[in-house]
């Protein structure tokens, strides 16, 4: 399984969805407090929507996968994440734009869940749990590296601009990587 490029691609996409939700969720409250002077309680409420929508959108993503296909669903999700990050990057936006960005990122992070894990399971039906575990492990790697990296970039630059720009570009890279996904059917050689 470690030599299966499709699983690594799915892991990259898990980084740009689940991993992104946790990284943004960890920093959005601080960002709202610093850049827009939103009171902590209100910033926490707004920021929690990244994770809440990430959970709520999972079943919808499963339903949409059937009707619109995996690639289109993933592309739309990663474009929503990128748009949300790019809206947050300037740091001088109005609160309604920041809320819209949070909603975009939360939705974009939750929708891919079912598509990624059903695809991982279909690639290795006799070892579905291990395949899904590898994909999820890569998503966790994003959390382990991404969250402290955002903090380092904020300390270094004094703003969240470069962090949100980097996260938005990472989402765009994941969007481009969807072109490398094979068809939904498992390969007969696996």
Tens digit of each residue's pLDDT (9 = 90 or more) over 167-184 = 999 999 999 999 999 875
Tens digit of each residue's pLDDT (9 = 90 or more) over 34-92 = 999 999 999 999 999 999 999 999 999 999 998 999 999 999 999 999 999 999 999 87
pLDDT given for residue 1 in this prediction: 83
Least confident interval from 116-125, 149-158, 177-186: 177-186
Mean pLDDT value across the chain: 93
As given in the structure block, the two tokens for residue 183 are: 């068809």
Domains for the chain: give ranges and CATH numbers. 5-180 (1.20.1250.20)
User: Which spans in the chain are helix H?
Assistant: 5-14, 20-36, 40-68, 70-88, 95-110, 113-123, 128-157, 161-177
């Amino acid at each position: 399984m470690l030599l299966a490029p499709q699983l690594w691609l799915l892991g990259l996409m898990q980084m740009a969805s689940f991993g992104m939700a946790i990284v943004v969720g960890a920093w959005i409250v601080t960002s709202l407090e610093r850049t827009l002077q939103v009171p902590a309680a209100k910033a926490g409420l707004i920021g929690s929507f990244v994770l809440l929508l990430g959970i709520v959108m999972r079943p919808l993503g499963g339903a949409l996968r059937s009707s619109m296909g995996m690639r289109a669903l993933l592309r739309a999700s990663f474009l929503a994440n990128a748009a949300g990050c790019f809206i947050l990057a300037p740091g001088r936006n109005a609160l309604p734009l920041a809320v819209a960005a949070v909603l975009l990122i939360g939705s974009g992070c939750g929708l891919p869940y079912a598509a990624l894990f059903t695809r991982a399971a279909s690639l290795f039906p006799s070892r579905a749990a291990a395949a899904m575990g590898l994909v999820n492990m890569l998503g966790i790697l994003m959390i382990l590296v991404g969250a402290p990296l955002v903090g380092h970039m904020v300390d270094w630059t004094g703003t969240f601009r470069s962090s949100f720009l980097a996260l938005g570009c990472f989402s765009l890279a994941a969007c481009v990587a969807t072109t490398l996904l094979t068809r939904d059917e498992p390969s007969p050689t696996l």
